[in-house]
Amino acid sequence: MTQAEQPQIYLITPPAFDPAPFADRLALVLDAHPVACLRVALASGDEDAVARAAETCREVAHARDVAVVIERHTGLVERLGLDGVHLADGARGVRAARKALGPEAIVGAFCGTSRHDGITAGEAGADYVAFGPAGQTALGSGERVEHETFEWWSEMIELPVVAEGALDAATVTALAPVADFLAFGEEIWREDDAEAALARLIDAMG
C-alpha cells in the first residue's frame, strides 16, 4: 500500500479534559503527525464549559490547518468558528444540521453498526459517516462493526467512511485498505505519550 492510499487520521478528544494542559498535548500530536480532522467530543452538558474547551482546541488545530468538528452542539459551530458538527445519532439530525449550517460546513454522522443508517445519512447530506466500534470493546452492547461493512462501503459508496472505536494495531492493519479515515481517541490519550501511541498506530497501517 502506498502512502497516498492510506487512511487519513481523525482525532477525537477525551470526553473530559482540562483545556490548557490538553492544548499542549494536542499541539505535540498535531506537530508530529498529519491529521485531517479533530472532533471535540465532550460528555459534559455544560455548554459554556464545552465552548471553552472547543475554542481552545480550535486555536491549536486551526493554527495547523486541521479541521475541527464538534459533537452534537450544532449551535456552537458558527459561534466558535468551527468547521462543522458530528452527529451521534445516525441520520436523524443530518438534514436539520445541514440547513442550519449551510452547504460549506462539515456534517458527519455516527451510524453505529448500521449500513442502512449510513446510506440514509449520506442521502440526507452528510459529508462522511462513521461506523463503530470497529474493535473489540466491553462497552455498550459489545457489538462491533463487521469488517465486511467497510469492504462493501469502500466498493459501493463514494461517501467517505470513518472507522472508530477500540482500534488496536491489528484492527488498524485490517481496516487500512477499506477505510477513508481512522479515528483515534482514548487509544492515544490514555497513554502518557500520545504522540508515540499515535505513531505506533500509524505504523500499523502498513
Domain spans, the chain: 3-203
Please tell me the distance from the alpha carbon of residue 168 to that of residue 2, in angstroms, as a whole number: 21
pTM score, whole prediction: 0.96
CA distances from 173 to 1, 6, 125, 144, 204 (A): 11, 10, 30, 16, 5
Residues 5-22 pLDDT 10s: 799 999 999 999 999 999
Residues 24-28: contacts with CB under 8 Å, at least 24 apart = 25/189, 25/194, 26/57, 26/60, 26/61, 27/60, 27/64, 28/194, 28/195
CATH 2.60.120.10, domain 3-203, yes or no: no
User: Cα–Cα–Cα angle for 132, 137, 138, nearest 5°?
Assistant: 130
Residues ≥6 apart with Cβ < 8 Å to 63:
none
Residues 174-197 pLDDT 10s: 999 999 999 999 999 999 999 999
- What is the number of helices (H) and of strands (E) in the chain? 9, 8
Q: Please report which helix (H) or strand (E) contains residue 170, including its range.
A: helix 169-175
Q: What pLDDT does 3 receive?
A: 40
Please tell me the distance from the alpha carbon of residue 9 to that of residue 33, in angstroms, as a whole number: 9
pLDDT at 141 over 80: no
> Residue 20 — φ and ψ, nearest 5°?
-65, -55
